[in-house]
Amino acid sequence: MSNYKFILSGGGTGGHIYPAVAIANELKSRYPNAEFLFVGAKDRMEMEKVPQAGYKIEGLWISGIQRKLTLKNLMFPFKVMSSLAKSKKIIKSFQPDLVVGTGGFASGPLLKVATDKKIPSAIQEQNSFPGITNKILAPKVNKIFVAFDSLEKYFPKQKIIKTGNPVREDLLEVSKYRVEAQQFFKVDEQKKTILVVGGSLGAKRINELIASKLDFFTNSNVQLIWQCGKLYFEQYKKYNAMQNVTVLPFIAEMNYAYAAADIIISRAGAGAVSELSIVGKPVIFIPSPNVAEDHQTKNAKTVADKEAAILIKEAELDTDFELTFTNLISSEEKQQVLSKNMKQLALPNATKQIVDELVKLLPNT
Q: What DSSP line would sit under 54-117, residue for residue?
A: T--EEEE---PPPSS--HHHHHHHHHHHHHHHHHHHHHHHH--SEEEE-SSTTHHHHHHHHHHT
Whether 5-167+349-359 shares its CATH topology with 170-344 is answered yes
Q: What are the residue ranges of helices labelled H in 10-55? A: 14-30, 46-52
Cα separation, 277 vs 283, in Å, equals 9
* Residue 7 near residue 27 (C-beta atoms within 8 A): no
- pLDDT for the residue numbered 64: 65
CA atoms within 13 A on the CB side of 302: 21
Amino acid at 2: S
Backbone angles phi, psi at 70, to 5 degrees: -135, 170
For the chain, domain boundaries: 5-167+349-359, 170-344
Coil vs helix vs strand at 40? strand
Mean pLDDT in each 10-residue stretch from start to end of the chain (365 residues)?
A: 89 81 95 96 86 92 67 77 90 98 90 97 92 92 93 96 88 88 94 89 88 93 94 95 94 92 94 92 93 84 95 95 96 97 92 97 83
Q: C-alpha distances in angstroms, 26 versus 50, 169, 229?
A: 15, 11, 29
pLDDT on residue 330: 95
Tallying the residues shown for the chain, one arrives at: 365
CATH hierarchy code of domain 170-344: 3.40.50.2000
User: What single-letter amino acid sits at 14?
Assistant: G
Q: What is the pLDDT of residue 86?
A: 92
CATH entry 3.40.50.2000 includes domain 5-167+349-359: yes
Tell me how far apart the alpha carbons of residues 273 and 266 are, in angstroms, rounded to a whole number. 9
Helix (H) or strand (E) holding 136: helix 132-137
